[in-house]
Amino acid sequence: MMTIQQRYLELIKSAILNELYPELEAQLLYTVLCAAHQQPVQLDLFWQARTDASLRDAVARAKQYGETIHLRLAPGHVRRDQPDLRNYTEYAHSMVGRRRLDHLQHCVEQILSEGIPGDLLEAGVWRGGCCLLMRAVLAAHDIHDRVVWAADSFAGVPTSSHAMDLAYPLDASVLPVLSVDQATVTDIMRRYGLLDEQIRLLPGWFEQSLPDAGIGQLALLRIDADLYSSTNAVLQALYDKLQPGGWVIIDDYGILPPCRQAVDAFRQQHSISIPLQKIDDHAVAWRKAAP
């Protein structure tokens, strides 16, 4: 039987991914698609959308793996696998999906049960969902001597002039959805009742904010920063602080070549040969070995 702590954490993950109200997501999906096709919303179809299996399935599948939903409005209903896009994350507090949230919880609980020393840090927090889950795990296990660091520009991805990043312009002028200001993130954390002294926000570009932030030992380093330059800046500033047995999680390794190249280059420079564990098509992780 699940403990009350496990039930709490399941509920937190459902809230982060907005899994609790699939009917509303299906209706929103229908409405957005009508707007995209400049078609009027029909009230009967709007209400039918609540129980439309194809809509609900599309939303649920996307939330498993943090994927984009591809849909088209067909006469009278909506179908999958067609050209129009709607990002499933519009109504979620993390874009990482269930698989990666479950894995993150597993890593933090393993760190606690094995006594790996140090704080938990995410670089690239967006709306803050992963930091919220880590803070919730600390709360569920009654841990008061570790903090969660949440590092972000709170202004989106930088414009990078690094050669590896040139083909991937992701800054706020191109992808405004990636730019979430600090007040919005703290407001979300407050709604969960989890904004307290065990969450430390670190605003600024990683290159400037991380080296002198006063971060001590780390037990978990979650990097979700898309670019070569951003991923490399985090690894250079923080990998040495990660304790043996600590986890490194790289969110974009499977889908963003600049991120993968930064990780591969860093691992090669530092002779890190510990195999990468695949979490899903996006993310990988490894545990730092004892020296």
Rounded to whole angstroms, the Cα distance separating 289 from 231 reads 21
User: How many residues in total does the chain contain?
Assistant: 291
Instruction: Give me the residue whose beta carbon is nearest to ligand SAM.
Output: 124
246 lies in the binding site for ligand SAM (CB under 6 A): no
Question: Cβ of residue 275: shortest distance to ligand SAM, in angstroms?
Answer: 24
Closest contact distance (angstroms) between CB of 191 and ligand SAM is: 16
What is the nearest approach in angstroms of ligand SAM to the Cβ of residue 250? 11
C-alpha 31/C-alpha 11 separation (Å) is 27
Shortest Å distance, C-beta 75 to ligand SAM: 35
Binding test (CB under 6 A) with ligand SAM, winner from 125, 140, 148, 238? 125
134's CB contacts (< 8 A; 6+ apart) are 104, 108, 120, 122, 148, 220
The tokens describing 58, both together, are 């599309």
Query: Using CB under 6 A, which of the segments 31-39, 120-128, 212-220, 241-249 binds ligand SAM?
Result: 120-128
And the tokens for 217? 């030992």
Among 230, 232, 235, 249, binds ligand SAM (CB under 6 A): 230
Residues within window 15-74 making contact with ligand SAM, judged by CB under 6 A: none
The one segment of 29-37, 38-46, 224-232, 283-291 that binds ligand SAM by CB under 6 A: 224-232
105, 13 contact by CB (below 8 A):
yes
Name the residue nearer to ligand SAM (CB basis): 27 or 232: 232
Closer residue to ligand SAM in complex, CB, 29/131? 131
Give the residue with the Cβ less far from ligand SAM, 178 or 284.
178
Distance CA 45, CA 271 (A): 58
C-alpha 263: how far from its chain's center?
18
Record the tokens describing residue 143, joined without a space.
């841990």
Angstrom distance (rounded) from CA 246 to CA 291: 12
284-287 and 218-223 strand pairing:
unpaired
Residues in 150-209 at the binding interface with ligand SAM, rule: CB under 6 A: 152-153, 156-158, 178, 205-206
In the complex, what is the shortest distance from the CB of residue 167 to ligand SAM, in angstroms, rounded to a whole number? Answer: 16
Cβ nearer to ligand SAM, comparing 118 with 158: 158
- Residue 248: phi and psi, rounded to 5, are -110, 130
Alpha-carbon distance 170 to 231, whole Å? 14
Q: Establish if 94 lies at the interface with ligand SAM (CB under 6 A).
A: yes
Q: Does 96 bind ligand SAM (CB under 6 A)?
A: yes
Q: How far is the CB of 180 from ligand SAM (least distance, A)?
A: 6
Cβ nearer to ligand SAM, comparing 127 with 146 = 127
Q: Is 226 in the site for ligand SAM (CB under 6 A)?
A: yes
* CB nearer to ligand SAM: pick between 160 and 198: 160
| CA pseudo-torsion sign 99, 271, 168, 171 | positive
Residues 18 and 15: their CA atoms lie apart, in Å, by 5
**Residues of 152-169 as b/e, b for ≥16 C-beta within 10 angstroms?**
bbbbbbbebebebbeebe
Name the site residues for ligand SAM (rule: CB under 6 A): 94-96, 124-126, 129-130, 152-153, 156-158, 178, 205-206, 224-227, 230, 233
